[in-house]
A and B are shown apart, each in its own frame.
Chain A
Amino acid sequence: MEFVNDVAAVVVTYNRKDKLVKVLDHALDQSLRPTWLVVVDNASTDGTGEYLAEFAKEHPEVVLVSLAENTGGAGGFAAGMARGYELGADFVWIMDDDCYADRTALEELVNGLGKAEESMGMKLPYACSLVKWVDGSICEMNNPGTTWDWGRLIAKGQQNVLVTHCSFVSVLFPRWTLTRFGLPLKDYFIWFDDQEYTLRVTQAGPGVQVLTSTVVHDLGTNRGVNFADVNESNLWKFEYGVRNETSFRLHHENPVAAAKFVVRLAQGLRQGRVPLGLQAKLFKKLVEGIKFNPKPEFPRSVL
């Protein structure tokens, strides 16, 4: 049996050509070079497609997936991960189009996951990086949730934290995770797709955050997700977030978890003095989430 570790790096992009250039350069300039770089263009309208076509000519490892319409981060990641799986990758390593991976980020993820599996005596479903903001501080939006025994591997001298969920900014999934649990829910479109997926695959065991694998998330501002911040311009994202999280808490956890979410939502909105009109729109999405319960698709085994 040959033990090859072919990694498919997956980058999902939408109208962010300026940052994408740097993202792809970082993804390719790794100490452990990915075998493929799958770039999913979510029907960008800013010339990303043309740029990527040129980029692919110079880099044979680039595999372009051009979607006919914008399917959101969730649809993009599902398509890109499926493509990596079809190519025969042993791992898929996924990130956004504003994530600059440090040179050893991938190598540390692969090694960190291997070491963690060895000490735990089991296969672990994913490994994620430590995500920093551009100034080197922790990125508020990308902190994983930890398990009750998060320090178990640190006690053994590893730089690995056991986690229950994380965001899709530099996450490494072994092939079997996709075989067993399928793909992220593309119907979520955006927000909470990463949490849902990582929580789903955590059924098989904890994930691991490899602290020696670092990436920079180039966000405009370094702020976490908070319902107090809802305004007219960002409402659309929060709408998806409310619908998706309601659906998840209700259908994948339990009504009590869903009720707690409603309380957290209401408190956040009140604290932020969010206008009543916007609050009403979010509550409408909450109701929508009660019926909304998409099912995962599974990737095809091709090679």
Chain B
Amino acid sequence: MNDITRADVCAAAVADAFKDDGEIFGSPMGIMPMLGVRLCKLTSNPDLVISDGEALFLGDVPPIFGKPDVVEGWIPFRRVFDVVAYGKRHVMMGATQIDRHGNQNISAIGDFAKPTRQLLGSRGAPGNTVNNRTSYWVPRHSPRVFVEQVDVVSGVGPKRAREAGAEKYNDIHRIVSNLGVFDIKGADDTVRLVSVHPGVTVEEVQAATGFELALPDGEVPTTREPSAEELTIIREVLDPKGLRFKEVPA
């Protein structure tokens, strides 16, 4: 298996972010999070609850963007907010910017009153981050994404959550990028490197990051490679069309 791609490594890293979640709603936004969550359900955490991203809980695990044969429940948008408040949910969102303290921006770049780049809007990020476990997926790690301070705080990192009295359910779990895996467990609640993907150096990750990364004690581990079983699932079951390469080119 010496033809393992970076995208395959990312899929397994996303899957690992959900492996200890137990019986909760794994809620991915985007191609790689969807692939990783479904990989997780087929391997390390079969109890995970997954949806089609529209209104159905899936009773089986179809390929990404595929139709299910079995439906096990109903999750229209309004009930997503019920589950957010209930707390049994782990969402992996995208991020146009993430800062040193794990705050995320999907709202606007520049001055909010008259942005240089208007993005989607804050969507559910403020609510997600103070209610349920939240992770982020960044397909192109760069100093433009990983910034000292986000222009608009949509998703709330642990430090700001505490300052606002909203730390009770704030749980920023992992950031998975095309270069490595991160948590927010550095000193003063800062982004810390958990592992670098195979073939990536710590120096490369630091150079692609717009703030000084916290590092783990000792040598920085290498993100694990997916197993032969996982590779088969990724390539033959979940993503035979190779949609993952749109986000992380082979």
Whether both chains belong to one complex is answered with no
Which A residues contact B (CB, under 8 angstroms)? none
